Chains A and B, each alone.
Chain A
């Protein structure tokens, strides 16, 4: 008795000391749910019966409950990013997502509303306010006309404001979705919803899902790269490119926008490439032993990361080095090597797309035009933001197009929600600068590239640009559509976690927006 007690104590101590073994056991228990228990109960009895009858039935008797149409995403543990074909032939091979953090005003950029102009400065009708929550608007705000002039552009004659003179030339390649809708009205959760399909923390980002499902073409570069254009980190933080419950090898790799793209990628002085190699081999051997003992998949992730860093030493520096581009290209993008700008990142994005990086995510910042200060005023800071993104975005689109890459690349541009047709009146007072509050009810996102109709607008808002009157598109619908373009049924790109087949589009039914597919 006392002997076994002593033994059990040592076991517990052992488990505490070797944290990872405990972790694995813990994760195993976490992953086992009531559903597993019930399933093994029924399935177990069923299979017992089937086992005795198997010879009489067809040669292959599948275990009860096994989904025969589930897609297999397993790979060799040493090459977790290796390419996998899409479920069905795909129009799109890679994604460049340009996220305008802070939510740009659709009414100053893409939504031409002449009726709103007529009512500028009038009290907002009570029907606009009933049952609505705003971040800052209180009392009865005034309606606010677009601050900038609109005109029709391109052969498709789509409306666009004079703030985007370069993008103006690209409208015939663009598909505007003017009826985007979200259910989040604060930046961080809304950004999370756009990027992970869920407003809460802990879910894999879009890029992670894509790299999990398709791997990446170039094994010498990360499959999912994130670039920030200086300024402020998006409110959603690094969670926006996290891999959530997917193996962490699928998380976005944030590269620095100036200086070395990835810190400590160069060998320190006195360490040659061959010395680095033999060091990694030894570490790899030890890690393999650790993995053999505890079976924690994160150990394999670590080995793979070391190996990728080794390969990246050559390729990443080259891919990110925009000094290699001729002056004429810099002139078109408005990029200046050595700065942390959106323009530089757009140029890098094109270089990464050429090199077979699967998912390239750019964040711009400062679009939260409340009008609380000059920087975020529609009549001041907003202009700067437009200037910062207009030219490089247009250059990226035309560059991709002339190189033939736009036909299998999907470019997405948009924020996390829209802005109100009412002028913000923080504390019920007229403010010094002009601004608009958050509007989750309607906003504009545009797509360009493979498989998407070019030169069209999908969906409509009312005459004030306040609510959607035609073809609303939920974030999950956008996700389902993008996954469809990448070659997946959004139900089938899933990962078993906590007893559920988790997926990007979460649990509510999502619809592929067939109307915008070319």
Chain B
């Protein structure tokens, strides 16, 4: 960057030949005024740091303009290196004339943003690692702006130092801006909605705000901390401690915030935490502020826990009448179907499956769009479906997980094929002519959960063999030779349905 400073070259007859003390002073005055402002702010930052307490309306009102104002110096400052670099080409040399002006504006803006930022941090109830980093980033950045401006306007030759300081400033703008966005949008706002494909490519963990893990066998660990983690710690956690309160560990919870403890053991009414979460949402003290109130069950759990002594070690089942926890069931997440994976899974059988689908319309299909498992429904064809037809499905027998052959004309000759369907979960043979011979050959179906022989000539002879199927949970044996209650093996009790 050893280029002559064009701005000063233009005014060379004034500043280069006759350095005038008065003029120098005038020139430096504005710089010193700005430096003064900055020093005041730095003094404020050091003496009156953000401490998590909320303060007067005026300060907060003004402070709220910080996110609005802060974007101007950012944009202006980032414009400077662009102007400098592009201006190096002769065609765009005129751009460099504007640099001083832009830098001056950026310095002014940075100082204003810094003052507003302090107002917001001091009055808005902020404290914690993020705010401190963001704040000092802003302070240093303002100084860098000022130094750049000083160098740009005072020096004739722009040395490497200027380039280095400018580059430092750009890096710091990025870092400080990111910290600020984390403050307002959440610590992982950038990666939160990253598509899974990119996520795996860049190895980004789907991070969440977490709390210190508590013992899951205690009532606190199993029932209370999950509520706090889900609803409270974005503002009262590691990164933000509004009201000087942290709720990410038992110790922090019991320590309380700026106004002292928030939990009085065995006294729900005197516990500030409980008072605030049960206020109407429109109340000034309501928590979580600006968000959905806790559910009735969550309130009940907290109430019961405080009433029981708010202990860290209380056993999970020691609290009577605690809501069952069924309502704490996880929200349903839906699996994304990745078409390429599914295509790959299906590739060994795809050709065969489509050929069979052509041959027997509507009776063979994939179990779902996300797998290569098949389901066979011969019952649609009724008595038109015979042993020979089932034979055609032999090559894909092991992919079939559900087979409905009810009301078909298959006979015991088909037992061999059915025995090859080793991954069957459900087998329906309702109203067929199959006999004990078939059922006695199904011992290879160790995945079978449901077997339906309603309305077949099956006899109790098969029961011991059926009882050995390891995963079987339902055996539908209505309208067969099997009668309720008679000679049922112990393993089948509760599984037989009539």
Contact = CB atoms under 8 A, between A and B. Distances in A.
Interface stretch (A195-203, A230-238, A400-408, A424-432): A400-408
A514 B368 contact: no
A89 B476 contact: no
Contacts of A84: 365
A219 interface: yes
A69 to B, nearest CB: 6
B476 A404 contact: yes
Interface string B455-498: 00000000000000000001010100000000000000000011
Nearest to A511: B331
Nearest to A218: B380
Interface stretch (A111-119, A410-418, A484-492): A484-492
18 contacts: A69-B336, A71-B337, A71-B369, A82-B361, A85-B367, A85-B368, A86-B368, A88-B334, A88-B369, A217-B380, A219-B361, A402-B478, A404-B450, A489-B334, A491-B334, A511-B332, A514-B332, A515-B326
Q: How large is the interface on B (under 10, 10 to 19, 20 to 34, 35 or more residues)?
A: 35 or more
A404 B452 contact: yes
A493 to B, nearest CB: 11
Given A355-B380, A484-B332, 7 more contacts: A88-B369, A219-B362, A354-B406, A404-B476, A407-B474, A487-B368, A511-B332
B373 A89 contact: yes
A487 B335 CA distance: 11
Give the secondary structure class of B's interface: loop
Contact of B369 (A86, A470, A512): A86
Contacts of B393: none
A356 interface: yes
Interface string B290-332: 0000001100000000000000000000000000001101111
A221 to B, nearest CB: 10
A498 interface: no
A90 interface: yes
A87 B337 contact: yes
B454 A88 contact: no
B240 interface: no
Nearest to A406: B497
A408 B476 CA distance: 14
B428 interface: yes
B379 interface: yes
Q: Say what secondary structure dominates the interface of chain A.
A: loop
B368 A87 contact: yes
Contacts of B182: none
Interface residues of A, number: 37
Contacts of B330: 514
B368 A401 contact: no
Contacts of B332: 484, 511-512, 514, 517
A83 interface: yes
Given A402-B476, A402-B498, A404-B474, A88 B337 contact: yes
Nearest to A315: B382
Contacts of B435: none
Given A217-B380, A404-B497, A89 B361 contact: no
A404 B327 contact: no
Interface string B418-437: 00000000101010000000
A61 interface: no
A400 B163 CA distance: 80
Interface in A326-351: none
Contacts of A511: 331-332
Nearest to A403: B454
B371 A89 contact: yes
B327 A515 contact: yes
Contact of A514 (B329, B335, B373): B329
B379 to A, nearest CB: 7
Interface in A384-415: 401-404, 407-408
Contacts of A517: 332
A219 B426 CA distance: 23
A517 B329 CA distance: 10
Interface in B74-107: none
A469 B476 contact: no
B486 to A, nearest CB: 17
B447 interface: no
A402 B368 contact: no
B380 A356 contact: yes
A402 B454 contact: yes
A505 to B, nearest CB: 13
A129 B193 CA distance: 45
Contacts of A471: 297, 327
B5 interface: no
A89 B454 contact: no
Interface string B168-189: 0000000000000000000000
Contacts of A404: 428, 430, 450, 452, 454, 474, 476, 497
Interface string A71-94: 100000000001111111110000
A512 B362 CA distance: 30
A484 B333 CA distance: 10
A429 to B, nearest CB: 38
Closest 3 A/B residue pairs (Cβ): A404-B452, A489-B334, A512-B332
Contacts of B428: 404
Nearest to B425: A89
Contact of B370 (A89, A408, A514): A89
B369 A85 contact: yes
Given A88-B335, A88-B368, A217 B430 contact: no
A356 B367 CA distance: 16
B377 interface: yes
A355 B380 CA distance: 7
A517 B330 CA distance: 11
A489 B369 CA distance: 12
B366 interface: yes
Residue from B362, B371, B454, B478 with most neighbouring chain A CB atoms (10 Å): B362
Contacts of A219: 361-362
Interface in B354-369: 361-362, 365-369
Interface string A453-480: 0000000000000000111000000000
Contacts of A88: 334-335, 337, 368-370
Given A88-B370, A90-B368, A407-B474, A69 B380 contact: no
A470 B327 contact: yes
